Amino acid sequence: MAKSKEELLEKLSECVLEMEEEEVVDVAEEYIAAGYPAFDGIMDGLVDGMNKASDLYDEEEYFVTDILLCSDAMYAGLEVLRPHLPESAQSGEKPKAVIGVVEGDTHDIGKNLVKIMMDTAGFEMYDLGRDVPPEAFVKKAIEIQAPLICISTLMTTTMIGMKTVIEQLKEQGIRDQVKVMVGGSPVSQKFANEIGADGYSVNAVEAVKLAKRLLDLA
């Protein structure tokens, strides 16, 4: 008997959460063969599993290695589902965004989650990695004409680098052309307001919603 959409979505989520890279491919293929929409499979299946993994990481039940294995499973599922997205979701120009962890900080797990979520949501992500100098964010945004910069940090000592990025955008005369969103555990809406950022998100899911809002895509 064929499984319901809800059963398969739950299974996709479970496969990601339990790092089942091979099984997730089988479930994704079964999901598509049953005629269910790929977008739902990605967001309510794979991304849901990644969100749960992220919660376990925040609760210190999962470690960085676990998150990486979960994201491997998620990407394996994406490989199956993405070709079945509607044409409009695959063609056309994707909104570009530069992402990175500010200079002095090498913690990139949160940044990686945001990148995965935004990538899945249809953004073209340019990942500068970690320990990124403020000028590198600005240079990349100018180079690719990105309307959005996403900056992350987990350290209070490096938060000021976020303000430097915004100041450098002003110096280049392009502050009004580039939205800046910030995130990371020591960052808050209050801090975002103080440095003149366009938005703050508390987690990767909210980051996607915020990015869409800032670029009028929501």
CATH number of the domain where residue 154 is located: 3.40.50.280
Distance CA 53, CA 95 (A): 27
The closest of 23, 15, 22, 20 to 47, measured between CA atoms, is 15
Distance CA 179, CA 3 (A): 43
DSSP state of 173: T
Q: Are residues 59 and 161 in the same domain?
A: no
Token output for 64: 């960085």
Same domain, 78 and 35: yes
Q: Are residues 110 and 182 in the same domain?
A: yes
Sheet holding 199-200: strands in order across? 124-127, 96-101, 148-152, 179-183, 199-200
My answer on whether 155 and 173 are in the same domain is yes
61: its two tokens = 């039940």
Are 203 and 145 part of one and the same domain?
A: yes
Domain total for the chain? 2
Residue ranges of the chain whose pLDDT lies below 50: none
* Contact assessment for residue 73 and residue 21, using Cβ atoms and an 8 Å cutoff: yes
Same domain flag for 101 and 192: yes
- Among the candidates 88, 112, 142, a domain finishes at 88
Residue closest to 113 by CA, chosen among 142, 61, 71, 66: 71
Asked if 127 and 26 sit in the same domain, the reply is no
Same structural domain, 103 and 199: yes
Is residue 97 domain-shared with residue 200, that is, in the same domain? yes
* Same domain (yes/no): 67, 139: no
Domain that holds residue 55: 5-88
Q: Tokens standing for 212?
A: 């869409």
80 and 116 inside one domain: no
pLDDT of residue 74: 92
Residue 136 and residue 179 share a domain: yes
- Among 32, 57, 88, residue at a domain's last position: 88
